[in-house]
Structure 1
Amino acid sequence: MNNPVQSGNPLFPGWYADPEARVFGSRYWIYPTYSAVYEEQTFFDAFYSDDLVTWHKAGRVLDSSGVPWARRAVWAPSPIEHRGQYFLYFAANDIQSDREHGGIGVAVSDRPEGPFRDPLGRPLVDRFVHGAQPIDPHIFVDDDGTPYLYYGGWGHCNVVKLGADLISLAAHEDGEVFKEVTPEGYVEGPCMFKRGGLYYFSWSEGGWGGPDYSVAYAIAASPLSPFERIEKILFQDPDVATGAGHHGYLNIPGTDEWYIVYHRRPLGETAANHRVVCIERMEFDEAGRIRPVRLTFEGVGPRRLGRL
C-alpha cells in the first residue's frame, strides 16, 4: 500500500492537544495530551512515524498507575532522550495553590514508547514561584549540554536548570533556582529552540478553550531572556480551524528544515476539549524571523530522516 502524498490535518484520529515533537533515532515522535475531562485525562498516548505522513499509536505510554501522586488530569508532556533513557515531563492535578498536592512531574523509561515510571514518587516542582502555576513543562537542552525546564501558567513563566540526572533541580550561575522569564502577552505553553546561535522562545496567548488561542514568539541571545515579544505566528483561520496553539517543533537533523506541531479546534466544534493535532512547515525570512504559519488541511509531504 502506498503512502498518501500528504499527511493531512489532523495527523491522527482522536481528541488530542498540547503536542511536543521529537526525533528519536530514525523516527519522529509526537507526545500529546489526551484531551478529555479531567477525570478521564489520566494517561498519555504517543505517536510515531517514519515519514511524517503515516502515524502509528503507542498507547498509554504513561498512566496514573505509574505516578502514584497524580490523582487527576495529566497533560502537556515534554520528552527528551539522555544517555539511552527517555525522560517525560508533565503536569498533573491542576493545583490552584500551594495547599494542594501536584505540579510538574517526571517519568523515565528505557524506550520512547514506555512504559514510563515516576522515579521520585513526588512532583519535581510542586509550588507556585513568581506567580507561575506549575504546569506546561518544556524541556530544552542547550548545545553545551545544559538542561533547562521552562514552565508556567497564570501569565507567568519560570525556567529552572536541571541536575545532571535530569530528575533534580540545580541552581543557575547566580544562585537562583527559579528564574522568571515572562515575556509580554505570555499565558502558558512555553517552547524553546535554538537556530543560528539565537534562542527562539514561544508561548501561547489567549484562553485555551476559546477560538483566539494563539502562539507568539521572541528571539534572544540567551536562554535566560530578556524575551521581547515580536509577533504572533500561529492563530485561527475562519476557513480552516480555531483555537490554534500550544505547540512544539521538529527540526530535521543537520538541516535548516523546520516544522511546527500544534493543536486546533475543527470548525463547528465548541467543546473545549475537542482538539486535534496538526503539522505545518515553518519558515524564516532573511532576517531570521519566523514567518506566520498558514493553517492547512493538507499538512506536509513525506520526509524520511537522513534524506534531503
Structure 2
Amino acid sequence: MKLNRFIIFFLLLPLFVQAQTSGNPIFPGWYADPEAQIFGKTYWIYPTYSAKYKEQVFMDAFSSKDLITWKKHERIIDTASIKWANKAMWAPSITQKDGKYYLFFGANDIQSDKEVGGIGVAVADKPEGPYKDHLGKPLVDKFYNKAQPIDQFVFKDKDGQYYLIYGGWSHCNIAKLNKDFTGFIPYPDGTTFKEITPEGYTEGSFMFIKDGKYYFMWSEGGWTGPNYFVAYAIGDSPLGPFKRIGRILTQDHTIARGAGHHSVVHNEKKDLWYIVYHRRPIGETDGNHRVTCIDLMTFDKDGLINPVKITKEGVKKSKL
C-alpha cells in the first residue's frame, strides 16, 4: 500500500511542480503583441488575435490573480462596434481613468493618408468590456513624421499627463492626450506630434518609469521572421532624447524564435518585474503563429536591464 501511494505521488509530482509556474506560452491560442496591466489585485493581458488581417477583427483578454491560472474573456471588442474598422485590429493598449477603461488599438493597416483607419479608442466600464467606440472615427488617421499610425502605447507620466506613443515604419511619435482622450494638446512650440525615434527602432513602443528615469523600449527587425528583438534606451523625460543602449530580448533557437513586441508589468509589493511578449514556436513558419509568453526581467546595480532569458517554464506564482 505504501509503495502504491509513493508511485501515485511520484506520478502527480510533475503536475504539482508545473502548477507553481506559469509555463510558456501562458495560455493557448495564437496571440501576439500582448499588453500587460494590473487593475486592483488582478493581472490583465490584452493581446492581438494573431490571424490573417481579414480575420483579425476582434480581441480577447485574459485575467489572472497569480500569473498561473488565466481566465479568457472573449471578444471584448470587435469591428461590429467600431464601424470604421474592417480588418487588422491589433496591438491594444489600455489605461484606466476616472472609473473608465480606455482601449487604444490599431485598425485597417493603412498605407497612406488616403485610406480610412489608423489608431482608435474604445471605452468600457470594466476591464473585460464590452468596449464601444469612443470617437466614432480614428484618433490618429494620418502619417505624421512618416510614422505609420499603429502600435500605440498609452503612457501616464508622474504628473498625471497621458501621452500616446506610437509608430511603425521605423518612426515613433509622442503626443499629449487631452483630458477626455478625444484629441491632443499641442506642445508649447505649436506642434502636436514629436518624433522620438531612437536608433534601430522598428515598432512596438513601450515606456515605464524606474528610479526617476524613463525607460523607452521597442521592437527591432521583422515580425514575420525569426529575427525580432526588443531593445531599449533611458531618458530624463518622456520626450527623451533617447540613446539606444542595446537589446534585452533575443532568440533562443532551442526554445523559440521571433521574440518581440512586448510590455512590462511590475508587482510593486514584491518588486518583481515581468516582460510579457510573443514568440514563434520552433518549427512554425506561418507569420501569424505566435504565442504569448512571460519571463522575469531584472536590472543590474546601475539600473540597466539585464538580458532576458526566454524559458519554457515561465515565472513563479506571484499574487498582488
Q: TM-score, normalised by structure 2?
A: 0.94
1:133-152 equivalence runs, <5 A: 133-152=148-167
User: Which residue, out of 291, 309, 312, partners 1:276?
Assistant: 291
**RMSD of the TM alignment (CA)?**
1.1
Structure 2 equivalent of residue 49 of structure 1: 64
Question: Which of 17, 21, 34 does residue 6 from structure 1 map onto?
Answer: 21
Do residues 129 (structure 1) and 144 (structure 2) align?
Answer: yes
Quick check: which has more Rg, 1 or 2? 2
Hey, what does 2:128 align to over in structure 1?
113
AA partner of residue 304 (structure 1): K
Q: Report what 1:172 is aligned to.
A: 187
2:4 equivalent in structure 1: none
Aligned-residue identity in percent: 59
The 2-side partners of 1:255 and 1:266 are apart by 31
Q: Distance in 1 between matches of 2:192 and 2:269?
A: 33
Please give the per-residue CA displacement for 1:61-115, whole angstroms capped at 9, x wherever unaligned: 0000110000111000000011110000000000000010100000000000000
Task: Specify the alignment match of 1:184 in structure 2.
Answer: 199
Give the SS at the match of 1:68.
coil
Instruction: Report the equivalent of 2:266.
Output: 251
- Whole-angstrom distance in 1 between the partners of 2:234 and 2:283: 35
Structure 1: segments with no counterpart, 5+ residues: none
2:246 corresponding residue in structure 1: 231
Q: Which residue of 2 aligns with 1:61?
A: 76
Q: Which amino acid aligns with 1:92?
A: A
What SS does the aligned partner of 2:132 have?
Answer: coil
| CA deviation profile, 1:134-160 (whole Å, cap 9, x unmatched) | 000001101110001100000000001
CA distance, structure 2, for counterparts of residue 300 and residue 256 of structure 1? 14
Q: 1:113, 1:260 → 2: CA distance?
A: 22
Query: TM-score, structure 1 length as denominator?
Result: 0.97
Q: Does 2:86 correspond to 1:74?
A: no
Match for 2:235 among 198, 215, 220?
A: 220
1:198 match: 213
Amino acid at match of 2:117: G
Distance in 1 separating the partners of 2:80 and 2:314: 35
> What residue is the counterpart of 2:99 in the other structure?
84
Cα distance in 2 between the residues matched to 1:216 and 1:38: 27
CA drift of 1:170 comes to 1.2
Q: Structure 2: how far apart are the matches of 1:187 and 1:222?
A: 21
Offset, 1:255: 5.0
- CA distance in structure 2 between the partners assigned to 1:254 and 1:12 by the alignment: 25
**1:164 CA drift (Å):** 0.8
Report what 1:17 is aligned to: 32
SS at match of 2:80: helix
Name the one with the larger helix percent: 2
1:27-77, Cα deviation, whole Å (9 max, x unpaired) = 000000000001110001000000001111000000001100001110000
Which residue in the other structure is 1:157 paired with? 172
Which of 14, 19, 28 is the aligned partner of 2:43?
28
Unaligned runs of 5+ in 2: 1-14
Please state how far the C-alpha of 1:235 moved relative to its aligned partner: 1.2
Following superposition, the deviation at residue 254 of structure 1 comes to 4.5
The Cα shift of 1:167 comes to 2.8
Distance (Å, rounded) in 2 between the aligned partners of 1:166 and 1:141: 12
Structure 1 residue ranges (4+ consecutive) displaced by more than 6 angstroms after TM superposition: none
Q: Which amino acid aligns with 1:64?
A: T
Describe the SS at the equivalent of 1:86. strand
Alpha-carbon distance between aligned partners in 1 of 2:270 and 2:185, rounded to the nearest angstrom? 32
